[in-house]
Protein backbone atom coordinates (compact mmCIF):
# COMPACT_ATOMS: atom_id res chain seq x y z
CA UNK A 1 0.00 0.00 0.00
CA UNK A 2 1.41 3.34 -1.06
CA UNK A 3 1.55 5.96 1.64
CA UNK A 4 2.81 9.53 1.65
CA UNK A 5 3.30 11.25 4.98
CA UNK A 6 4.04 14.94 5.04
CA UNK A 7 5.29 16.78 8.09
CA UNK A 8 7.21 19.84 9.23
CA UNK A 9 4.51 22.46 9.23
CA UNK A 10 3.93 24.87 12.07
CA UNK A 11 3.39 28.45 13.15
CA UNK A 12 6.07 30.93 12.17
CA UNK A 13 6.38 34.70 11.98
CA UNK A 14 6.61 36.48 8.67
CA UNK A 15 10.16 36.30 7.36
CA UNK A 16 10.79 32.97 9.04
CA UNK A 17 11.53 29.55 7.59
CA UNK A 18 10.13 26.03 7.68
CA UNK A 19 11.19 22.76 6.10
CA UNK A 20 8.52 20.32 5.03
CA UNK A 21 9.19 16.62 4.54
CA UNK A 22 7.33 13.99 2.54
CA UNK A 23 8.14 10.37 3.31
CA UNK A 24 6.96 7.74 0.85
CA UNK A 25 6.45 4.07 1.65
CA UNK A 26 5.02 1.10 -0.15
CA UNK A 27 6.55 2.04 -3.47
CA UNK A 28 9.91 3.19 -4.78
CA UNK A 29 9.33 6.77 -5.87
CA UNK A 30 12.78 7.32 -7.33
CA UNK A 31 11.61 7.09 -10.97
CA UNK A 32 8.69 9.48 -10.69
CA UNK A 33 7.96 13.17 -10.58
CA UNK A 34 6.75 14.56 -7.24
CA UNK A 35 5.15 17.82 -6.23
CA UNK A 36 3.96 20.09 -3.45
CA UNK A 37 0.59 21.80 -3.46
CA UNK A 38 -1.20 24.02 -0.97
CA UNK A 39 -4.78 24.86 -0.14
CA UNK A 40 -6.07 27.73 1.93
CA UNK A 41 -9.54 27.54 3.51
CA UNK A 42 -12.26 28.07 0.95
CA UNK A 43 -9.81 28.16 -1.94
CA UNK A 44 -8.69 25.73 -4.59
CA UNK A 45 -5.62 23.55 -4.32
CA UNK A 46 -2.68 25.29 -5.96
CA UNK A 47 0.62 24.16 -7.36
CA UNK A 48 3.67 25.16 -5.33
CA UNK A 49 6.65 23.22 -6.65
CA UNK A 50 7.60 20.03 -8.46
CA UNK A 51 10.71 18.01 -9.12
CA UNK A 52 11.80 15.47 -11.70
CA UNK A 53 12.67 11.90 -10.75
CA UNK A 54 16.39 12.66 -10.50
CA UNK A 55 16.01 16.01 -8.80
CA UNK A 56 17.80 17.60 -11.74
CA UNK A 57 14.95 19.90 -12.70
CA UNK A 58 12.66 21.85 -10.43
CA UNK A 59 9.62 24.01 -11.11
CA UNK A 60 7.94 26.65 -8.98
CA UNK A 61 4.84 28.76 -8.84
CA UNK A 62 5.67 32.41 -9.44
CA UNK A 63 4.46 33.26 -5.95
CA UNK A 64 7.19 31.18 -4.28
CA UNK A 65 10.03 31.43 -6.78
CA UNK A 66 13.23 32.54 -5.10
CA UNK A 67 11.91 31.77 -1.62
CA UNK A 68 11.11 28.04 -1.69
CA UNK A 69 13.35 25.15 -2.72
CA UNK A 70 12.20 21.62 -3.50
CA UNK A 71 14.58 18.68 -3.27
CA UNK A 72 14.52 14.92 -2.88
CA UNK A 73 16.63 12.07 -1.55
CA UNK A 74 15.71 8.97 -3.52
CA UNK A 75 17.79 6.73 -1.28
CA UNK A 76 15.51 7.74 1.60
CA UNK A 77 12.28 7.94 -0.43
CA UNK A 78 11.90 11.45 0.93
CA UNK A 79 11.12 14.83 -0.60
CA UNK A 80 11.62 18.23 0.99
CA UNK A 81 10.34 21.77 0.66
CA UNK A 82 12.53 24.44 2.21
CA UNK A 83 10.46 27.58 2.70
CA UNK A 84 12.24 30.85 3.44
CA UNK A 85 11.06 34.44 3.77
CA UNK A 86 7.58 33.22 4.57
CA UNK A 87 4.66 35.57 4.14
CA UNK A 88 1.17 35.53 5.69
CA UNK A 89 -0.22 34.66 2.25
CA UNK A 90 1.75 31.40 2.38
CA UNK A 91 -0.61 30.20 5.12
CA UNK A 92 -2.27 26.98 3.93
CA UNK A 93 -2.43 23.24 4.27
CA UNK A 94 0.51 21.85 2.31
CA UNK A 95 0.33 18.48 0.55
CA UNK A 96 2.94 16.36 -1.13
CA UNK A 97 1.89 14.33 -4.13
CA UNK A 98 3.20 11.60 -6.40
CA UNK A 99 2.63 11.33 -10.13
CA UNK A 100 2.94 7.60 -10.77
CA UNK A 101 2.10 8.09 -14.45
CA UNK A 102 5.07 10.37 -14.97
CA UNK A 103 8.17 8.23 -15.16
CA UNK A 104 11.14 10.33 -16.16
CA UNK A 105 9.13 13.20 -17.62
CA UNK A 106 8.65 16.85 -16.85
CA UNK A 107 6.52 17.33 -13.74
CA UNK A 108 2.96 18.52 -14.15
CA UNK A 109 1.44 21.45 -12.31
CA UNK A 110 -2.24 20.45 -12.26
CA UNK A 111 -3.30 18.80 -9.02
CA UNK A 112 -5.61 16.34 -10.77
CA UNK A 113 -2.65 14.81 -12.61
CA UNK A 114 -1.28 13.42 -9.34
CA UNK A 115 -2.23 10.03 -8.00
CA UNK A 116 -1.35 9.82 -4.34
CA UNK A 117 -1.34 12.49 -1.64
CA UNK A 118 -0.06 13.06 1.83
CA UNK A 119 -2.48 13.95 4.58
CA UNK A 120 -1.36 17.58 4.61
CA UNK A 121 0.67 19.65 7.04
CA UNK A 122 -0.51 23.06 8.22
CA UNK A 123 1.69 26.10 7.68
CA UNK A 124 0.60 29.29 9.42
CA UNK A 125 2.53 32.52 8.97
CA UNK A 126 1.71 35.37 11.33
CA UNK A 127 2.25 39.00 10.41
**pLDDT tens-digit map of 36-62:** 999 999 999 999 999 998 888 999 999
Asked if 78 and 72 count as a contact pair (C-beta separation under 8 A), the reply is yes
Query: Residue 39 CA to chain centroid, in angstroms?
Result: 12
Residue 27, pLDDT score: 86
Q: What share of the chain is helix, strand, coil (3-state, %, to 5)?
A: 5, 50, 40
Rounded average pLDDT over 13-42: 94
pLDDT, one tens digit per residue, over 80-116 is 999 999 999 999 999 999 998 888 888 999 999 999 9
Q: How far apart are CA 53 and CA 90, in angstroms?
A: 26
Q: How far apart are CA 117 and CA 126, in angstroms?
A: 26
Q: Is 33 helix (H, G, I), strand (E, B) or coil?
A: strand
Residue 59, pLDDT score: 96
Output the average pLDDT for the chain: 95
Amino acid sequence: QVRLVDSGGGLVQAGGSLRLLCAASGRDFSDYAMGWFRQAPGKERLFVAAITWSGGDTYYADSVKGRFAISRDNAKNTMYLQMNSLKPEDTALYYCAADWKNKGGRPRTAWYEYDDWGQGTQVTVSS
